[in-house]
Amino acid sequence: MNFNNNLPIYIQIMDHIKKQIASGELKGGVKLDSVRELSTKLKVNPNTIQRTYQELEREELVFTQRGMGTFVTEDEEMILKIRKDMASSLVNTFIREMKDLGYGLDDIIEIINERLRGD
């Protein structure tokens, strides 16, 4: 994993894990790597991984069982919600950048329709 954008590393790892949860790559109830495992895998300070897991827990996307580890939430609605949140944030970015390019809403819809038909 490359940490090359301008955000703190714990946020970049959070986003990465959220994406894995949203896409179903990490299924509900699955155990995450231990702090030490992920720390070694990503070559990131263990305290940073700890922070990542704490923040994910605060957002109720994962839960910790004492002595067992950290697990992905089993709440399907929650998983659908992050999926939707991530999709809408992508769409928002897309629309903003298209507007910056001077496209109106109708033009944007047309471009998308064309592209979808083309595929």
Separation CA 13–CA 54 (nearest Å): 12
Q: Computed from CA positions of residues 46, 51, 80, 22, in that sequence, does the dihedral angle turn out positive or negative?
A: negative
| Alpha-carbon span 3 to 54, nearest angstrom | 20
Q: Does 71 bind other proteins (CB under 8 A)?
A: no
Nearest partner of 1 among 38, 46, 50, 26, judged by Cα: 38
Q: What residues between 11 and 40 interact with other proteins by CB under 8 A?
A: 36, 39-40
Q: Which stretch binds other proteins (CB under 8 A): 6-14, 15-23, 76-84, 85-93?
A: 6-14
Residues 36-65 that bind other proteins (CB under 8 A): 36, 39-40, 42-48, 51
Q: How far is the CB of 62 from other proteins (least distance, A)?
A: 19
Where do contacts with other proteins occur on this chain (CB under 8 A)?
Answer: 3-10, 36, 39-40, 42-48, 51
